[in-house]
Every structure is written in structure tokens, then in C-alpha cells.
Amino acid sequence: MEKRLDLSFKEEVKELSGANVDLCYQCQKCSNGCPLLYVMDFSPAQIIAGVRLGKKDLVFKQNTFWICINCKTCTARCPQGIEIAKIMDALRKIALKEKREIKEKQIYLFYRLALKNILSFGRLYELGLILDLKLKTKEFTKDLALGFEMFKKNKLSLFPKVVDRKKLNAAVNKIKKRGADIKPQSTQRE
């Protein structure tokens, strides 16, 4: 059982996410609507409770916020209007900043490579992302049949779409000026 409570944790999450976790009354509507609850260690509502109670180490031992795909179903269902998806995002940011253990390394790897791919091509070049993932994970035959089906249905193009490089750089700079950290981080932790 976690002995040390970190009371500044809640404030940090509130500030980063803009979400007021104190409004939560544990109705469970967020958890019951989450499409990925079945693979999460803690439900979204449990995570909110952990944040409120300052159980920082316990929260960061869960895979929940790495599994979250930001679909915002929880946010839409919350009767208190709490932006739960933003809380998950804040937890990922804190985990990376504090170099905590990444519970779902392959998901993190996917995020980084997808970001690198979009920064390079201006939009997601799926085949390039798949090749990058295969090279990193060495799982060359995994989902091969699925990939072939997508290719047959024209869902995967062989080449990336050509984008205006000047416009892409201008868009990236604009996002950076707003303070967003969009630099793909080192792959060492993957």
C-alpha cells in the first residue's frame, strides 16, 4: 500500500489539464462508457479518485492513461463536465517529465513514430508508420494479413502524399509558438 501522499499532485494535474477533479462524485459513468476499460488496470474513475487523494505513485503504476486513446466518450458522459481525456493527457506528460516507468511501451512507441511521421509528411503516411513500427519492434509478421486486406481495399498507399513543405514548416512553427512540445522524443525509452 502506498504510504506517501503527494498533495501537490492534484494541483499539478488540475493545472495541466484544466479539469477540476474535485467535482467528481464517483458515479462511474466515465468508466462504464470507456471502450478500453477491459484492458485498463484502473478504470478512469479510479484514476480520478487516485489523483484527488494524492496517490501519485499508485496512479503511475497503472496503464490506464497509456491505454487511453482520447476518444472523449468519458468526457461526454460525465455529468460534472470533467475533461477526463485531458486528465489522461496530463498524466502522460507528467510521467514523461518525471521519467517514470512507461507501462505500455509499444503504445508510447506508436505515439512517437506517428508524430515523427506526421512532422515529416504533413499527414499520416500509414505504410511508412507500419514499416517504422516493424523495424523497431521486429514483429515483422504480426498483423500481416490485416495489412494485406487494407492494401487490397486501397486503405494503404505505397507513397506519401506530396505536401507543400513551406506550409508544413509554417504550421509546425505556429504550433510550437503556442507552447506545444511536438518534438518526437528520444527512442531510448521505447
What residues line the site for ligand SF4 (CB under 6 A)? Answer: 24-30, 33-34, 36, 44-45, 48, 68-74, 77-80, 82, 84-85, 88
Q: Which is nearer to ligand SF4, 63 or 136 (CB)?
A: 63
For residue 130, the minimal CB distance to ligand SF4 (Å) is 23
Q: Which residues contact 12 (CB under 8 A, 6 or more apart)?
A: 90, 94
Do 19 and 41 meet the contact criterion of CB atoms below 8 Å apart?
no
Q: Which is nearer to ligand SF4, 85 or 133 (CB)?
A: 85
Give the integer Cα–Cα distance in Å for 56 and 9.
Answer: 6
For residue 165, the minimal CB distance to ligand SF4 (Å) is 33
Q: Which is nearer to ligand SF4, 104 or 151 (CB)?
A: 104
For residue 95, the minimal CB distance to ligand SF4 (Å) is 15
Q: What is the DSSP string of 144-169?
A: HHHHHHHHHTT-S-SSPPP--HHHHH
